[in-house]
């Protein structure tokens, strides 16, 4: 009875605190900015047909400059590592390497890609690293810092380094949430003093830093909270060991500035209603969770370090942005292959191109490049896979929509391309629009990197 009451109370609170609507003027301005690049998108379609991934190199460079400049003003000597898992296309990876960023890798596969792209400053994180993956890291120890994930990994890494006769630079990942499944990552912060003592028994391991990741964040609150916890823990570390600490890696998770845009089904109240009533997709109401600017992230994180860490130890700060850097730089171009009704069209690509049923919950505007307009109209925009979950959206911006029209799904650079999958339909081609204004069709087989 008490449990049922709590459930009802929770449901009431969800309905009482509804997710804010996305401002219509903000949405129109967003679409208008993309339509200013319409000639680029249409040119790519005319040259390469569809479906396409279109990557804009200049957007990558602009975001890299912005992130570094903003953080470096607050935290001098900040070292930035692009998180490959957010988008692992080699041309994106190489763009950031050439810019001067390091790379954050989470597997042996990503580590090999990083090396092929010419990276000389790599952090290797992730649970469950295999013997083979650790051997690759040891072989390239000149360029790699291994972020250890457990006591067991410490033992295995030391044994491999011992056999190779090398000293390997390392850090240790910290658990930010003790609940399963997040506890799969790293070791408990409370164990750090003991872990440091244990490391000293392993002569081929050089422990230089700490790393944590607080998942995706709309604001810096989680960073500040965990930095404070680290500071409290470091007070229990011997001064001699503390002075050996060279870096603290704050991970990634900085939300892009537009915030999180959602369909009704992606909101708490929408999920609740779907359990009670059949889902009703209006296609004209969208929701937004607000994100703070990158300047605010940098400001609050810098203040936390000055207050909780720097009085104890002077160390470098590493950051691992992925999503924030690449999100806006890649778009998907589709074509309407069939119109089955006034409000239902089928496109020439399926959501295997993004790897998950994203647009049943997330919202991004579908823009009709062939018949552009700022007006949004209801319509089921569906893919060509044999599954009902193959959804691109429930509305589009345009005068109308017809067979043959070219559509744009913007800002799909993060956690889509890396998750793409060979399922039923072929994957789109990749076209790289260089900062000099040239198109370059590219794949893993013709990059020469």
Q: 119 or 177, which is more confident?
A: 119
249 and 276 housed in the same domain: yes
- Residue 276's pLDDT is 74
Q: Which of 274, 294, 326 is the last residue of a domain?
A: 326
- The three-class DSSP label of residue 346 is strand
Q: pLDDT-derived band of residue 377, with 50, 70 and 90 as boundaries? A: very high
- Residue 24's pLDDT is 94
How far is residue 354's CA from residue 304's CA, in Å, rounded to a whole number?
36
150 and 180 housed in the same domain: yes
> Which DSSP string corresponds to 124-186?
E--SS--HHHHHHHHHTTTTEEEEE-SHHHHHHHHHHHHHHT--EEEEEEB-S--STTGGGSS
Q: Calculate what percentage of the chain has a pLDDT beyond 70.
A: 94
> Which DSSP string corresponds to 307-337?
HHTTTT---EEEE---HHHHGGGEEEEEEEE
How far is residue 199's CA from residue 279's CA, in Å, rounded to a whole number?
55
Could you tell me which residues are beta bridge partners of residue 262? 287, 362
389 and 256 housed in the same domain: no
- 309 Cβ contact list (under 8 Å, min separation 6): 227, 230, 231, 234, 248, 315
346 and 291 housed in the same domain: no
In a domain? residue 449: no
CA-derived radius of gyration, the chain? 24
424's tokens:
């039923």
In a domain? residue 10: no
How far is residue 263's CA from residue 270's CA, in Å, rounded to a whole number?
8
How far is residue 129's CA from residue 134's CA, in Å, rounded to a whole number?
7
In a domain? residue 17: no
173 and 236 housed in the same domain: yes
To the nearest 10°, report the CA torsion of 138, 140, 143, 144. -30
Q: Which of 326, 356, 377 is the last residue of a domain?
A: 326
Looking up tokens 């994957």, which residue turns up? 427
Does 282 score more than 60 pLDDT? no
Mean residue pLDDT of the chain comes to 93
In a domain? residue 2: no
> Which DSSP string corresponds to 225-294?
HHHHHHHHHHTTS-HHHHTT--EEE----BPPTT-EEE-GGGSHHHHHHHHHS-----SS--EEE----H
Q: pLDDT-derived band of residue 311, with 50, 70 and 90 as boundaries? A: very high
49 and 174 housed in the same domain: no
In a domain? residue 224: yes
Q: Calculate what percentage of the chain has a pLDDT beyond 90.
A: 87
Burial class of residue 172 in the structure, from the number of CB atoms within 10 Å of its CB (0-12 exposed, 13-18 middle, 19+ buried): buried
- Check which CATH number belongs to the domain holding 186 and give it: 3.20.20.10
- Residue 68's pLDDT is 97
Nearest to 353 by CA among 336, 377, 373, 331: 331
318 and 335 housed in the same domain: no
266 and 288 housed in the same domain: yes
127 and 46 housed in the same domain: no
Q: What is the pTM of this model?
A: 0.94
Q: pLDDT-derived band of residue 4, with 50, 70 and 90 as boundaries? A: low
In a domain? residue 25: no
132 and 168 housed in the same domain: yes
- Residue 5's pLDDT is 61
317 and 392 housed in the same domain: no
Range of the domain at 84: 58-326
Q: Are 244 and 210 in contact (CB under 8 A)?
A: no
The Cβ of residue 260 has, within 10 Å, a number of other Cβ atoms equal to: 18
Does 88 score more than 50 pLDDT? yes
The Cβ of residue 149 has, within 10 Å, a number of other Cβ atoms equal to: 22
Q: Which of 306, 326, 346 is the last residue of a domain?
A: 326
- Check which CATH number belongs to the domain holding 383 and give it: 2.40.37.10
How far is residue 114's CA from residue 41's CA, in Å, rounded to a whole number?
29
What is the domain count for the chain? 2
182 and 49 housed in the same domain: no
Does 121 score more than 60 pLDDT? yes
* Strand boundaries in 31-78, DSSP class E: 52-56
Side-chain half-sphere of 377: how many Cα atoms within 13 Å?
17
In a domain? residue 151: yes
To the nearest 10°, report the CA torsion of 219, 193, 179, 290. 0
In a domain? residue 448: no
């Amino acid at each position: 009875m008490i449990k049922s009451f709590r459930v009802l109370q929770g449901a009431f609170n969800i309905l009482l605190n509804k997710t804010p609507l996305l401002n219509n003027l903000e949405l129109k301005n967003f679409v208008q900015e993309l339509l200013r690049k319409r000639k680029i998108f249409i040119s790519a379609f005319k040259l390469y047909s569809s479906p396409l991934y279109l990557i804009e190199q200049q957007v990558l460079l602009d975001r890299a400059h912005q992130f570094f400049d903003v953080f470096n003003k607050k935290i001098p000597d900040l070292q930035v590592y692009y998180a490959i898992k957010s988008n692992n296309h080699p041309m994106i990876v190489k763009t950031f390497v050439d810019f001067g960023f390091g790379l954050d890798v989470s597997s042996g596969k990503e580590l090999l890609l990083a090396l092929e792209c010419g990276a000389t400053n790599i952090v290797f994180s992730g649970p469950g690293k295999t013997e083979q993956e650790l051997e690759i890291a040891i072989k390239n120890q000149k360029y790699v810092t291994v972020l250890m994930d457990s006591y067991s990994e410490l033992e295995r890494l030391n044994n491999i380094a011992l056999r190779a006769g090398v000293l390997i630079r390392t850090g240790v990942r910290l658990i930010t949430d003790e609940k399963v499944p997040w506890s799969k990552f790293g070791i408990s912060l409370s164990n750090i003093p003991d872990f440091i003592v244990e490391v000293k028994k392993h002569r081929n391991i050089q422990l230089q830093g700490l790393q944590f990741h607080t998942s995706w964040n709309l604001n810096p609150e989680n960073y500040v909270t965990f930095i404070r916890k680290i500071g409290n823990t470091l007070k229990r570390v011997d001064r001699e060991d503390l002075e050996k600490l060279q870096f603290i890696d704050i991970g990634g998770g900085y939300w892009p500035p537009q915030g999180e845009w959602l369909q009704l089904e992606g909101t708490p109240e929408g999920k609740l209603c779907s359990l009670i009533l059949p889902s009703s997709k209006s296609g004209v109401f969208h929701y937004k969770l607000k994100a703070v600017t990158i300047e605010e992230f940098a400001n609050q994180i810098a203040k936390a370090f000055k207050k909780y860490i720097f009085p104890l130890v002077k160390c470098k700060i590493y950051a691992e942005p992925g999503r924030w850097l690449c999100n806006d730089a890649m778009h998907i171009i589709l074509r309407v292959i069939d119109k089955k009704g006034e409000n239902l069209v089928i496109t020439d690509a399926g959501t295997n191109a993004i790897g998950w049923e994203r647009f049943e919950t997330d919202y991004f505007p579908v823009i009709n490049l062939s018949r552009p307009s700022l007006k949004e109209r209801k319509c089921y925009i569906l893919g060509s896979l044999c599954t009902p979950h193959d959804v691109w959206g429930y509305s589009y911006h345009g005068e109308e929509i017809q067979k043959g029209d070219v559509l744009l799904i913007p800002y799909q650079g993060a956690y889509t391309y890396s998750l793409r999958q060979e399922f039923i339909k072929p994957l789109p081609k990749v076209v790289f629009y260089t900062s000099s204004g040239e198109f370059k069709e590219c794949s893993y087989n013709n990059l020469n990197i």
